[in-house]
Amino acid sequence: IEGLEDFTDIECHGIVDIAGDDAYGRNVIVISACRLPPHKELNHPKFLRYLMHTLDQFVESDYTLVYFHHGLNSKNKPSLGWLWTAFRAFDRKYKKNLKALYLVHPTGFVKILYQLFRPYISAKFGRKISYMNHLHELKQHVHYDQLRIPEQVLEHDRTLLSKGARLPHSQSSGFFAAAGAPTYQPTQQFRASLEHIKKHNNGDPIPNVVRDCVTYLDNDIALETEGIFRRSANTQVVKAVQALFDQGKYVNFDAYKNVHVAAVILKTFLRELEEPLLTFDLYDDVMSFQELDQSEKLVQARTLLLERLPEDNYELLKYIVEFLAKVIDRSDLNKMTASNLAIVFGPNLLWSRQEQASLISITHINQFTEYVLRKQHLLFSK
């Protein structure tokens, strides 16, 4: 059966990876050319099927593609014929929700290829493409620390920088993390700890930003909006709303006339927590959750959430999941099933302290998230 094709022989190369969400609430898919094996070791028609199979899991949501070009050479470079076949295979379904394509370390080959395909590329799609000559240019768009950048690419970038192109001081420390111990403003919501937020929220474990987003979205219009939590929002609007919340100011979501703003803000809050809501301590258990027998899963999930998860984390997770249950109840209209919500929320609920995100780890996290969403009535009753 085509849907059950075994891609283990291709997955093992790590050519394609998933790196959580970007700064705008979109899934990030990473392709590394240096991980392409020589022609004789790769079945190219099967590789195309693998690419489509992988993208199929994410293209119904807005997504970002990062392509590391360094490492493509005469031994592993796909033929023009294959590239043309791939270009035609990725039809409107794949292009419509692709919001940004970052081509990192482009060479003359990439630019020539673009000129060859240009007659077949719409102006709208062309505007989604950005050339990035250095890795630091990615930092303002994606969670850089979550990218699994091949050492070969890192070394190439260091070589380029050593030849004269210095890293701007303003970007050298990264976009999402500051050096040293974190300091928070009393009203800060984003990039803070739940402990800090609760301390300045009259002991309430539900942050203002979460309560405001859920309250705004808990109505028929929002709940029945197709693709709620799948769509991204205007970058400047998201940053402006974040700033208002961090300053402790009132946010009138009605003024933006777009339910997706509140949806993105909720996901972004979770993704930018100092520690993931499901905590670093639960990471290994979530990675092995799918290995359990069906009869063991409920006991383990209850142990993780009711006993291992800190009380405040539990209360916040319960609050969010109970709201998402309402979203699932309207999935006939909004198309957001438990599986689809797990894909967009999973990477924002858990990530590793040590490891960078990978397709395999994201899959495990999403599967656990889907289980929690489906069994929420059994998991959040003490």
Q: How confident is the model at residue 182 (pLDDT cuts 50, 70, 90)?
A: low
Other Cβ atoms within 10 Å of 307 Cβ, number: 8
Span 168-179, mean pLDDT?
A: 36
Q: Both 159 and 294 in a single domain?
A: no
Same domain assignment for residues 229 and 355: yes
- Same domain for 158 and 204, yes or no, is no
Distance of CA 22 to the CA centre of its chain: 6
Of 52-56, 67-71, 111-115, 210-214, minimum mean pLDDT range: 111-115
Regarding whether 167 and 249 lie in a shared domain, the answer is: no
pLDDT of residue 109: 84
Q: Are 148 and 29 in contact (CB under 8 A)?
A: no
**For residue 40, what is the DSSP state?**
G
> Is residue 309 included in any domain, yes or no?
yes
pLDDT of residue 170: 34
pLDDT digits 0-9 by tens, 278-315: 999 999 999 999 999 998 999 999 999 999 999 999 99
- Between 24 and 75, whose confidence is greater? 75
Q: Specify whether the CB–CB gap between 19 and 148 falls below 8 A.
A: yes
> In the chain, how many domains are there?
2
Of 47, 35, 44, residue with least CA distance to 10: 47
165 and 125 part of one domain: yes
> Is 181 part of a structural domain of the chain?
no
Residues 364, 23: Cα–Cα separation, whole Å: 22
For residues 208 and 134, membership in a common domain is answered with no
Helices (H), the chain: 8-11, 44-56, 80-89, 92-96, 108-117, 123-126, 151-162, 194-199, 208-217, 220-223, 235-246, 259-271, 283-287, 294-302, 311-329, 331-334, 338-349, 359-374, 376-379
Per-chain mean pLDDT for the chain: 88
- Is the same domain home to 47 and 96? yes
CA angle 217, 253, 125 (to 5 degrees): 90
Q: Are residues 145 and 270 in the same domain?
A: no
In a domain, 300, yes or no: yes
- The model carries a pTM of 0.74
Do 237 and 308 sit in the same domain of this protein? yes
> Is 176 domain-assigned?
no
For residue 175, is pLDDT > 50? no
Identify whether residues 165 and 208 lie together within a single domain.
Answer: no
The CATH number for 290's domain is 1.10.555.10
Note the pLDDT tens digit of each residue in 99-150.
999 999 998 888 788 777 777 777 787 888 889 999 999 988 888 877 889 9
Q: Say which DSSP state 375 is in.
A: T
Judgement on whether residues 260 and 154 belong to the same structural domain of the protein: no
- CA quadruple 190, 191, 195, 200: dihedral sign: negative
Q: Domain residues for 234?
A: 194-379
